[in-house]
Structure 1
């Protein structure tokens, strides 16, 4: 007699990563402050390839100024050592932290004139 094998039992389900309500509140709070200052104009939220992304734009038709990515808890390697939250400026990784507030502090630091 033949045995039916269910492929769903053998496939590895991808890690689904989402921002929590508290994290979204923190992100949107920073976004609203930057909009009031005239720095940012638009944002996008994406969920793909095992990460959640929050991207901010100066203009809707441009590439994002910054992308804040949340990696899964079970992400091997760097995420376990350096943190779940990663800040990208363009294509370059700018910072990585275990807590979202630590990362957002880098975006709100006042700009100083160096003479």
Structure 2
């Protein structure tokens, strides 16, 4: 007889959250470092939720984020799992390649340096 006793701790399926992997964080933090050096960004925050991982960048700590870099794996086969969202909620760029999506922010870095 195979009797399963309930466990007091939820399994991995109940607590799974979306997160950026090491390579993705390397790409994002590389851009973040360049923007900090240019004086454009000052702080960041990360949120890992059930269906989305968010990297938010701020000009000042107490403000709303200037941009949100989002990862939504459920959109992988549709519009692409990565998106850059502006402060007002506009999606500036969406796609499957993180580097290509972040180029929309790198253009702002080129303008800041000129």
Range of TM-score over shorter length: 0.7 to 0.9
Question: Any idea what SS the aligned residue of 1:80 has?
Answer: coil
Long gaps (5+) in structure 2: none
Give the Cα–Cα distance (whole angstroms) in 1 for the partners of residues 26 and 56 of structure 2.
Answer: 15
Q: Scaled by the length of structure 1, what TM-score is found?
A: 0.78
How far residue 22 of structure 1 moved from its aligned partner, in angstroms, is: 0.6
Q: Scaled by the length of structure 2, what TM-score is found?
A: 0.78
Residues 29-48 of structure 1: CA deviation (Å, up to 9, x unaligned): 10000000000000001111
Question: Which residue number in structure 2 is paired with residue 99 of structure 1?
Answer: 97
How far residue 92 of structure 1 moved from its aligned partner, in angstroms, is: 1.6
Long gaps (5+) in structure 1: none
Count of aligned pairs between the two proteins: 104
* Root-mean-square deviation over aligned CA pairs: 2.4
When residues 14 and 87 of structure 1 are mapped into structure 2, their CA distance, relative to the original with a 3 A threshold, is farther
When residues 82 and 14 of structure 1 are mapped into structure 2, their CA distance, relative to the original with a 3 A threshold, is farther
Runs of 4+ in 1 over 2 A off after TM superposition: 3-6, 12-16
